[in-house]
Amino acid sequence: MKIIAVIPARYEASRFPAKLMQILGEKTVITTTYQNVVETGLFDEVFVATDSELIFNEIQNHGGKAVMTGQHETGSDRIAEAVQNIDCDIVINVQGDEPFLKLEPLKQLIEVFKEDENQEISLASLKIKLHEKEEIENPNNVKVITDNNGFALYFSRSVIPFHREISYDVDYFKHIGVYAFRKHALLQFSKLEMKPLEISEKIECIRYLEYGMKIKLIETNFVGVGIDTPEDLEKARKLI
């Protein structure tokens, strides 16, 4: 299989505009993320997919590969446009605002497809257990529930499952937005109409479920530093 990584990079983020061009150490956030992904050695090629000339030039000026795209509602739609003419089998979506992603979770996602002999899985992603009540109830944390084989049943910003039976312990998992797609499933996704559940929750993975595709979730202990706010950027700078 030819495996590539694509980093969707939108300049006008709603909560923190221009966050990917902020300085982290001696480089921008997006350049740090790009170079860290390349250094894993897991991918045949790594690209940044962006609608911003600033980001496009930033990556190219640092010797990287970038693809200009149109404007899109979701990162998956942006990646689908970027890869349609790239020869590959598996596409790993790494978030541009997750500069400290580690090697092991990426290897786990790739392994899902190597073991999927019947090619039933359209998408693989990561989940991590939540423990604090505040984190579980935070709508910025997308929660996911899976069946006994680790396939996604639903994603929500609400608390799922609802803890009606207080005497019974239940685990809560946060969805981490790192995806691995089969290329043909990704291209199919981009042609599918958004349905009410995806529009309501603003969670793109729901589109796959609404159209009957299989999503495999891998549990991880990796805690990244997602840069969604200026405060997150300050936390990330302390890790450099």
Give the pLDDT confidence of 93-146 residue by residue, as tens digits. Answer: 998 888 887 889 899 999 999 999 889 999 999 999 999 999 999 998 999 999
Q: Would you say residue 57 lies in a domain?
A: yes
Predicted confidence (pLDDT) at residue 225 exceeds the cutoff of 70:
yes
Do both 215 and 125 map to the same domain? yes
pLDDT mean across residues, the chain? 92
Tell me which of 37 and 74 has the higher pLDDT.
Answer: 37
What mean pLDDT is predicted for residues 153-178?
Answer: 89
Percentage, residues of the chain above pLDDT 70: 98
Do both 89 and 138 map to the same domain? no
Percentage, residues of the chain above pLDDT 90: 71
Tell me which of 100 and 216 has the higher pLDDT.
Answer: 216
Q: Would you say residue 55 lies in a domain?
A: yes
Helix (H) or strand (E) holding 150, with range, is none
Q: Would you say residue 234 lies in a domain?
A: no
Do both 125 and 210 map to the same domain? yes
Residues 6+ apart with CB under 8 A from 74: 204
Paired tokens of 105: 């979770």
Phi-psi region of 123 (alpha: psi -120 to 50; beta: other; left: phi over 0): beta
What pLDDT score does 188 carry? 94
The confidence band for 7, taking pLDDT boundaries of 50, 70 and 90, is very high
Do both 78 and 144 map to the same domain? no
Do both 151 and 82 map to the same domain? no
What mean pLDDT is predicted for residues 14-25?
Answer: 88
Angle, CA of 208, 74 and 39, to the nearest 5°: 95
What pLDDT score does 178 carry? 86
Domain residue limits at 122: 118-177+189-223
Q: Would you say residue 108 lies in a domain?
A: no
What pLDDT score does 75 carry? 81
What pLDDT score does 107 carry? 93
Taking each helix axis from N to C end, the angle separating 75-83 and 183-191, rounded to the nearest 10 degrees, works out to 120
Do both 94 and 139 map to the same domain? no
Asked which of 98, 132, 156 is the last residue of a domain, the reply is 98
Question: Model's pTM, two decimal places?
Answer: 0.87
The confidence band for 84, taking pLDDT boundaries of 50, 70 and 90, is very high
Distance between CA atoms of 93 and 79, rounded to whole angstroms? 8
Do both 65 and 146 map to the same domain? no
Do both 89 and 135 map to the same domain? no
Q: Would you say residue 112 lies in a domain?
A: no
Q: Would you say residue 183 lies in a domain?
A: no
Total tally of structural domains belonging to the chain? 2
Q: Which of 48-52, 168-172, 203-207 has the lowest mean pLDDT?
A: 168-172
Q: Would you say residue 93 lies in a domain?
A: yes
Q: Would you say residue 80 lies in a domain?
A: yes
What pLDDT score does 229 carry? 86
Do both 123 and 211 map to the same domain? yes
Do both 84 and 146 map to the same domain? no
What pLDDT score does 132 carry? 93
Do both 5 and 93 map to the same domain? yes
Do both 41 and 122 map to the same domain? no
Q: Can you point out the beta strands (E) in 10-85?
A: 23-24, 27-28, 45-50, 66-68
What pLDDT score does 167 carry? 63
